[in-house]
Amino acid sequence: MTETDPVKVMKQQVGKAAADLVKSGNIVGLGTGSTAAFMIQFLGERMQAGTLTDIKGIPTSFQASVLAKKYGIPLTTLDEVDRIDVAIDGADEVDPQKNLIKGGGAAHTREKIVDGLAEQFVVVVDSSKLVDSLGAFPLPVEVVPMAIAPVMRALEELGGNPEIRMGVKKDGPVITDQGNMILDAKFAAIANPADLEKTINNIPGVLDNGLFVDLADIILIGEIKDSQPSVREM
Ligand SMILES: O=C(CO)[C@H](O)[C@H](O)COP(=O)(O)O
């Protein structure tokens, strides 16, 4: 590993540790984001080295699908399999109860489908993602475009201060893999993630929000201690 940026080193380490958990024959949920991208790369390297055979990936986004193809991981769909053995995905925040905020990459709707179906859901983060309580990271909410105004009003009533996520190197809003828009809602604090997840998802026009409650089984945390990268489990 030649990477020198400490955050990238932590992401790389934890991505490798997660890829090492996958067993031959597994159906694997492939997460989205820069940390999950390292995991997909290491899965491909294990396949090349012959230490991992006969796996199939279920991508959580266009990005994951492109990376899987790049690294030679065969893909399948939820129509074709009746189980996902393990899903490995990043997160934007992780609290001590292993609840998450996801969706920094606008992929949380598909991620919740795939990660939630997996027999084991492994989260890969660098140590900067650990928080005492969720909410400093604005909560991503995927919204059907025609409902954007009423959903914004409903989120404001909940204290969410929503903003439409805008594109980078693209004028106008971010459009998700499903053709929808993203609102980022900044709550002062999220006291009850389970209640808020359900309340937001009950607003007509909302597909899903980035609160992942009681879904994660293992959190792998990349950190740097005494100048050495390491991985610990929560
Ligand atoms: O939820 C996600 C995408 O929707 C990502 O997993 C999350 O944003 C973390 O990304 P990164 O590993 O790049 O920090």
pLDDT in tens, 151-170: 999 999 999 999 999 999 99
Centre of ligand 1 to C-alpha 103, Å, is: 6
pTM of the model: 0.96
How many angstroms is it from 93 CA to the middle of ligand 1?
A: 9
For the Cβ of 91 lying below 6 angstroms from any atom of ligand 1, the answer is yes
pLDDT confidence of residue 151: 98
Q: Please identify, by atom number, the ligand 1 atom nearest to the C-alpha of residue 90.
A: 6
Helix 34-49 / helix 62-70 crossing angle, nearest 10 deg: 30
One fold for both 6-130+214-233 and 139-208? no
Per-residue pLDDT, 4: 80
Q: What is the pLDDT of residues 170-190, one digit of tens each?
A: 999 999 999 999 999 999 889
Cα-based torsion angle of the residue sequence 142, 144, 146, 147 in order, rounded to the nearest 10 degrees: -60
CATH of 139-208, one of 3.50.50.60, 3.50.7.10, 3.30.70.260, 3.40.50.1000: 3.30.70.260
Distance, CA 124 to ligand 1 centroid (Å)?
9
CATH topology of domain 6-130+214-233: Rossmann fold (3.40.50)
Pairing of strands 118-126, 84-89: parallel
Catalytic residue among 45, 80, 93, 111: 111
> Is the CB of residue 160 below 6 angstroms from any atom belonging to ligand 1?
no
Average pLDDT over every residue of 117-137: 97
The domain locations on the chain are: 6-130+214-233, 139-208
> ipTM value of the model?
0.99
Pick the atom of ligand 1 nearest to 106's CA. Answer: 4
Q: What is the CA radius of gyration of the chain?
A: 18
| 3-state secondary structure string across 136-183 | CCCEEEEECHHHHHHHHHHHHHCCCCEEECECCCCCCECECCCCCEEE
How are strands ordered across the β-sheet holding 100-101? 93-94, 100-101, 211-212
| Segment 80-113, tens digit of pLDDT | 999 999 999 999 999 999 999 999 999 999 999 9
Pocket flag, ligand 1, residue 90 (CB < 6 Å): yes
